[in-house]
Amino acid sequence: MRRALERSASHEPEAGVHREGERARNQCLGAVPRVCHLAADRSQVDPPTRRLRRREADAARHQTATSWAGHLCHPLPLAAVLVLAVNDHVLKGSGLLPDMVTGKLSDVAGLFFFPIFCAATVRGLRRLAGEIRSRVVDRG
């Protein structure tokens, strides 16, 4: 009893408690982190980390490879433009649909397409400004 009081006074954990805590920590951490830290070559790095790095690199490559107007060529914005064209030139005034329906159809299609168009235009202008800036810097 006296020994236990002396240990608690000196803040030293008992040997059994220390081993149990270390064992629980090793079970939670597993052996993979130790292997990763000791690995001399990159082939032993845990696969989830390599997959994450590969995904990030692919995403960065995809962002730089896409055109500034890439989102405009998606089928949904193209369908919205088609709906606008057919609605304005065929349906409005023909009597096939009520005026209220053709008006709402134009509104919905326009509200779907216009933000995508604005974002693509801003993206294109930024890219153009960056190219002009890089040409000016290269000259100077």
- What the block records as the tokens of 87 is 């609605």
Tokens of 42: 């990159």
pTM of the model: 0.50
Among 60, 61, 32, 63, which residue's Cα sits nearest to residue 45? 32
Nearest in space to 127 (alpha carbons), one of 63, 57, 58 = 63
Domain ranges of the chain: 67-140
Question: One digit per residue, pLDDT tens: the chain, 140 residues?
Answer: 555 555 555 554 555 555 565 555 555 555 444 444 444 555 555 566 777 777 777 666 555 546 778 888 889 999 999 999 999 999 998 889 999 999 999 999 999 999 999 999 999 999 899 889 888 888 76
Tokens of 82: 């088609």
**Residues contacting residue 88 through CB under 8 Å, at least 6 positions apart:** 106
Rg (CA), the chain: 32
User: Cβ–Cβ contacts within 10 Å for residue 105, how many?
Assistant: 18
